[in-house]
A and B are shown apart, each in its own frame.
Chain A
Amino acid sequence: MQMPSAGVSAHLKNLLSPFAPLRPTTCGILLWCSFLIPILLWSAVSYLPFVWHPLVKITDASKVAYFKPDMLVEKKIFVSENEKLQKSGIPPAEGIPANPVFLPAPHEVVQSLYRSFTTPPRRNGEPWLHESLWHSIRIIFWGFFWSSLFGVPLGILCGTFPFFARLSEPVVDFIRYMPAPVFGALAVAIMGIYDGPKIAIIFIGTFFQQVLVVANTTRKLDPSLVEAAQTLGAGRLQILFNVVLPGIAVDLYNDMRILLGWAWTYLIVAEYVGASSGITYFINQQAKYRIYDNVFAAILIIGFIGFATDRILEALGRNLFPWQKISAGDVGQKLTIFVPKKVLA
């Protein structure tokens, strides 16, 4: 891309002008940067020995009784033991700076990302990672499905008819403040220890928020559209189905994307209820075995799934609602992973 230098400086100035949309190229570069920056920081902490590294990994224990090769000790202890050895004229122990075991380096995590899918579970009967994942996804799906099946219609009714809002919103608001986990024991008592109570937790965590969020979205519908429909002869039900539903569709869809994200946060609690299972159980097991690279791998996988789902839903949404204006700012949000032309050339 050829650009006069004056253009470049003007462009740089525009990068930080309030509310101004960015160019698609810039959006694409920023998308990569937003992932690259944390990865670079993580790499710096992991690979540059002078950054952090509070521990020492022993390579030669010398004469220190409790030092063993590959053991991690605190830098302070290492130094003081070596001072003692020096006074006695014995060669000091040797070691290299290291990070705690709970902070694996990026390459270790990438390796275990691959390994975690290919290694069989430690004990018989324990699920593979992909089985755990699939189980979690199923729990989320059903919890969110049941919640939406009741929550969305009720929310739309509340938003459209003040009658339903006055009738149901106070109690919904009341229950909403009860943390979903407190229903765990109750759910187990009623639904047994397997998937039932887990789905119930997701349901409880999502449903009450959903009713209020959807009701608010419905209330934001431009009232003049309803009035226009009335003067065109539309009745109550016709307004509900021909004006309210299509009128809020776009916002409702975006609400659902956000609520689906919330459902994931309740997964952690849900999978502790009854018989532990799913990705959370996998993470906890791996933490117990102190295989932290697997822990990171599993957390990253959740992130990937969430990010991918959201991006797919967003791209779908753009095709579902052809009447939406696409503003310049949205261009960079496209699902297509952008590769700068310079990199390819």
Chain B
Amino acid sequence: MSFDSLIPCPAVAERFARLKERPVTLDVRALSKSFYSGGTIHHALDRISFCVHRREFTCVLGPSGCGKSTLIRTIAGLESPTSGEILLDGHAVQGPGPDRGMVFQGYTLFPWLTVKKNVMFGLRMSGQAASIAESEAREWIALVGLSKFENSYPHQLSGGMKQRVAIARALANRPRILLMDEPFGALDAQTRSQMQAYLLQIWKNLDVTILFITHDLDEAVYLSDRILVLGTNPSRVVEWIENPVPRPRDRAQIDSEAFKATRSRLENLIHPPQEEVIEQIPIPRMTTIGDDVE
């Protein structure tokens, strides 16, 4: 395995130096979350600290059960931290709010509202007049390419389309940061890669910072500026990787040295589960046909 391409070349180093000069959007300080279950304390998050700069695309990666979801839900304000602080543009946040938009894996569109009304929801909640909210919603729907479907109900849309509506709905509120909790996890491989390319397009054209949770290594490398790798038991920051793959991103880069090296480094950090267990399972021979398979 070659780590050569991970020794920061001057261009990459310069890129991240510039990134770090930008103002800090999200500052997470010693965030801990623990809860009791069956008499023992379970640490879902253990003193996690990191900060995300303006317009940065950060991926949070970790094995299942490492508390990725708890982390993003705590930042969204859907769960309260046991200790620690979350600062957004320098102000401590408490409870959910429209400044932190969230896109869930399960779409969570309101089934009784049309696409347009779904996108209008946040604007209406903040007291916008219906006509203004409607024209703004139209723009966001156009941005995600669903103008033809603005009067459809969610159940009439495919998974990828639903998730595009959910992204438009979150962006319509003009959040400071967009929190995405494995948003493409339920999509098929082809739709997923379309959505990834598409998300990068949106991100490029808008002033929005993205915190993106995934367990897919390729997805993390393809999308991110930096990757926050979480470990499990206790759940803390294992590594904070600066992704050397140059932008703009392209599917072809998957075969590039930088991509492969970053990917294998992530693989080593995450330690996929051992496969010995599977080899121990006795499988009886149930065929009499000759050894046509290996």
Query: Secondary structure at chain B's binding surface: helix, strand, loop or mixed?
Result: loop
Establish whether residues B155 and A247, one from each chain, have CB atoms under 8 Å apart when the complex forms.
no
A80 to B126, CA, bound (A): 91
Within the complex, what minimum Cβ distance (angstroms) separates A134 from chain B?
A: 37
Q: Is B110 an interface residue (CB 8 A)?
A: yes
B residues less than 8 Å from A232 (CB atoms): 98, 101, 121-122, 125, 169-170, 173
- Say whether B77 contacts A225, CB under 8 Å: no
A246, B76: Cβ atoms under 8 Å?
no
Q: Main SS of chain A's interface residues?
A: helix
Given the complex of chains A and B, what is the CA–CA distance between A100 and B108 in angstroms? 62
Given contacts A232-B121, A233-B125, A242-B125, contact A323 B112 (CB under 8 A): yes
Q: Does B149 contact A (CB under 8 A)?
A: no
A249: nearest residue on chain B (CB-CB)? Answer: B112
Judge if A325 is at the interface, Cβ distance under 8 Å.
yes
| Given A224-B106, A225-B110, A322-B153: A231 and B125 interface contact (C-beta under 8 Å) | no
CA distance A225 to B106 in the complex (A): 10
CB contact list, A301-330 vs B, under 8 A:
321-323, 325
Shortest Cβ distance from A180 into chain B, in angstroms? 35
Q: Interface residues of A, CB < 8 Å — how many?
A: 22
Known contacts A227-B96, A249-B112, A323-B155; A234 and B125 CB within 8 A of each other: yes
A228 within 8 A of B: yes
Instruction: Check B112–A231 contact: CB distance below 8 A.
Output: no
CA distance A230 to B112 in the complex (A): 17
A243 within 8 A of B: yes
Find chain A residues with CB under 8 A from B124 CB.
242
Q: Are A233 and B126 in contact (CB under 8 A)?
A: yes
Asked whether B111 is an interface residue with its Cβ less than 8 Å from the other chain, the reply is: yes
Check if A235 sits within 8 Å of B125, measured CB to CB.
yes
Candidates A224, A234, A246, A249; contact of B104 at CB < 8 Å: A224
Known A322-B153, A323-B153, A325-B155: A231·B101 in contact at CB below 8 Å: yes
Count contacts between A and B, CB distance < 8 Å.
72
Whether A227 pairs with B173 at a CB distance below 8 angstroms is: no
Q: Is the CB of A243 within 8 A of B122?
A: no
Contact A231 B100 (CB under 8 A): yes
Residues from 103 to 125 in B contacting A, C-beta threshold 8 Å? 104, 106, 108, 110-113, 121-122, 124-125
* Residues on B with beta carbons closer than 8 Å to the beta carbon of A27: none
List the B side residues contacting A233 at CB < 8 Å.
Answer: 96-98, 122, 125-126, 173
Look across to chain A and name the residue whose beta carbon is closest to the beta carbon of B105.
Answer: A224
- With a cutoff of 8 Å between Cβ atoms, the chain B residues found around residue A231 in the complex are 76-78, 96-98, 100-102, 170, 179
A225-B166 Cα distance, complex, nearest whole Å: 12
Chain A: CB-nearest residue to B76: A231
A222–chain B nearest beta-carbon distance, Å? 8
Pairwise interchain contact A227-B108, C-beta atoms closer than 8 A: yes
Give residues of chain A (233-284) contacting chain B, Cβ–Cβ below 8 Å: 233-235, 238, 242-243, 246-247, 249
Give me 10 other A-B pairs in contact (C-beta within 8 A), A222-B108, A230-B95, A231-B76 excluded.
A224-B108, A231-B101, A232-B125, A233-B122, A234-B122, A238-B125, A242-B124, A242-B125, A246-B113, A323-B153
Which B residues fall within an 8 A CB radius of A?
76-78, 95-98, 100-102, 104, 106, 108, 110-113, 121-122, 124-126, 153-155, 169-170, 173, 179
| 24 A-B pairs whose Cβ atoms sit less than 8 Å apart in the complex | A222-B108, A224-B108, A227-B104, A227-B108, A229-B121, A229-B125, A230-B96, A231-B76, A231-B77, A231-B98, A231-B102, A231-B179, A232-B101, A232-B121, A232-B122, A232-B125, A232-B173, A233-B173, A234-B121, A234-B122, A238-B125, A322-B153, A323-B153, A325-B155
